[in-house]
Amino acid sequence: MQVQKIMNRNVEMARPDETLREVARRMAEQDIGYMPVGDDDRLVGAVTDRDLVVRGLADGRDGSATVRDVMTPDVKYCFEDEDVEHVVQNMGDIQLRRIPVMNRDKRLVGVLSLADTALAYSPDSTGTAMSGVVVPGGAHNQRGPGHGSAGNGGGGR
C-alpha cells in the first residue's frame, strides 16, 4: 500500500517568521501538535507543540519569538508513492511519530502519522515502529545538535 492512500492531506503549515504565539493558537484551534514549516512553497522545517515548550518557553523565549527559533530545521520526509511498510519501519528506526509527505517535485502533499498507520494499515507494524520511537534519546531528542534532526527522506534518501 502506498503512503498516499492513508496520509492526512489537510495539513496546516507554519511559516518560519510566524510567532510562537500565532502558531500555538493555530495548533490549539486545530487540535494538532505538529506543523511542517514552509517558506515559498518549500519545506524548511517542522515544529511541534513540544518544541514550543522545550526550545521556546524553557529556553526563556516568549510568544513573540519566531518559529525559526525553535523548529527542527532539517526534516526527514517520505514520498507519497512509497510503500507504507517501508516508511513505517524507517519512522521507528529514526524515532519519528509524524513525517511530512512529499510528491516527486518535492512539494508537501500531506503528513503521515503512526496513528494513521495503526488505523488504516497495520497495528502490528505500527506497534513495532512505536517501540523504536519511545526509546529515550536518539537523533530526534529535543536537545541534540541542530535540534536532533538531519538529512531527508523517510525512505532512506
Q: What is the 3-state secondary structure (H, E, C) of 15-84?
A: CCCCEHHHHHHHHHHHCCCEEEEEECCEEEEEEEHHHHHHHHHHHCCCCCCEHHHHCECCCCCEECCCEH
Kindly give the confidence (pLDDT) of every residue in the chain, 157 residues in length, as a single tens digit, with 9 standing for 90 and above. Answer: 999 999 999 998 999 999 999 999 999 999 999 999 998 878 999 999 999 999 999 999 999 999 999 999 989 999 999 999 899 989 888 888 899 999 999 999 999 998 888 887 655 655 655 555 555 555 445 554 344 433 344 443 3
| Integer angstrom CA distances of residue 89 from 3, 53, 104, 105, 132 | 13, 28, 21, 24, 9
Helix, coil or strand: residue 7: coil
State the pTM of this model. Answer: 0.76
The CATH architecture one would assign to domain 3-148 is Roll (3.10)
